[in-house]
Each structure stands twice: as C-alpha cells, then as structure tokens.
Structure 1
C-alpha cells in the first residue's frame, strides 16, 4: 500500500528523523558525562557535595531532559503543521534542530544562564512558530476556504 504525501512533506519527515537522531546524540553525550564525572545509574542528577563536577553533569543531563520534555509537542506540531504548510514546518523544524544543538552545547558548559546564547535562543520561537502553523493547519481542515 502506497502512502501519498503532500508535496514537500518529505522535508518534514527528514527534519523529524534528524531531531530523533539529535536526541540519540544527546543521550550519548549524557552517558559520556556520566562516565567522565562518575555519576552512577540510577542517579538522575549529581549531588554537588559528593561530585566536584556535579554542576557540569547536571547541566548536560538537564539540556537532554529539556529536549525530551518538549519532544512530543515538537513532533506533533511539526507533523500536523506540515500537512498544510510542509515547507514552512520543515524550515521551522530545521531551525529548531540547529538551535537545539547550540542550546545543548551552551548548557553543557555548566552555566545554565548561557543555554540561550547565540543560536540557542531560537529554540522557543521556532517551536512557537510550529505550534502556530499546526493550529492553522487544523483550522484549514475545518474551514478549507480560508486557505
């Protein structure tokens, strides 16, 4: 059975898979930080009294965790927004992808105040744009003459 996609939707799917791979890359970085700073499982966050580099580990963990917390909303908004606006959704998803890389790198230095420096500040505007286009996409399904 063949699935027919909206023209341009393949870009939405490519961005989706890139973001899934990004989460895997972040998980690998957390595992590396866990080994480097000797933070054993199942400890989620290191105690600063027990681990001298706890703040760095906790920031790496938190950057990954924040990405995971927003991943369902990102994926839903990307996929739904892409139904009517595939290129716009893919572009916003790509911005989100690049911003998440910067956000993770900035956060991983151990200073939470730096997480939004540079390109990292584009995470939430990109996600907000995706949410807006997903709402518009749904509205277009109920009121097709608007689009």
Structure 2
C-alpha cells in the first residue's frame, strides 16, 4: 500500500482567499440582499417565495431565485476550486475569481426583476469550465505518473 503525502503549494493560499470570498458573497452579500428584498416586498418567513397574487412577487422571487441558484451550485464550485487548487493554485484562484464575479453579475442582473438580465453573468462558466479542465488534468497526471 502506497500512502502519498499531500504537500500544499504556497500559492494554495490564493485558493483559500478565493474560497473565503465566495463564502462572503454567497452567505453575506446575497443573503442580506434577499433579507432586504423580504422587507421591501413584505414577504414574511417562512415563505421561500412570494405567492403569485402578492404585489411585486416576481421581483422578490427573482432575488430569491438568484440566491437559490447560486447556493445550488456552491458545493460543486467549492469542490472543484479546492481540488484544482491542489495542483494548479494560481489557475484555480483566477478561475474562482472569474466565477465569483460572474455570480455577482448574475445575481445583480436577476435581482432587477427581469430574469433575462441574469444572462449578463454567464461568463461565470468560463471560470467553472477552467476548474473542470484543471481537475481533469490533475486526475490524468495522477493516473499516468510512474
């Protein structure tokens, strides 16, 4: 049985900074925006979404949906960021920043109440695809090393 020691490259610190930034964006920035929208549009807890008959329901639901979609994709992003960062820390950190900037743009566009404006943030997928590629490259390197 061969046990491999994992040595983190010094540049992995960039990955950790991006990880922290992503937590801040998802759990503070977006959460507070949803809380402000609840107050503005009078949507009380525990309702996840405003009923269709509620005034401004679509506007609140767009804010809520933008945050929910971001949270749905958050675990995947974190796993890819950390895994890619083990081998390619600078590339992973840059891809993570692109993804986060795209998520913020997506959130801000969707939060206008016009769902089509969320598409402005679709450049986030350049970051995500880079992370996919880095993880696959890392896997290939591990499987083919002698």
Q: Distance in 2 between matches of 1:52 and 1:38?
A: 9
Alignment correspondent of 2:59: 56
Q: Distance in 2 between matches of 1:140 and 1:4?
A: 16
TM-score, length of structure 1 as denominator length: 0.89
Alignment correspondent of 1:28: 32
Alignment correspondent of 1:143: 144
Alignment correspondent of 1:109: 112
> How many pairs are equivalent?
140
Is 2:43 the counterpart of 1:39?
A: yes
Match of 2:21 among 13, 18, 21: 18
Q: Distance in 1 between matches of 2:45 and 2:136?
A: 40
Alignment correspondent of 2:130: 129
Q: Distance in 2 between matches of 1:5 and 1:110?
A: 43
Is 2:69 the counterpart of 1:66?
A: yes
Query: In the alignment, is the contact (CA less than 8 A) between 2:49 and 2:64 conserved in 1?
Result: yes
Shift of 1:4: 5.0
TM-score, length of structure 2 as denominator length: 0.90
SS of 2:123's partner is helix
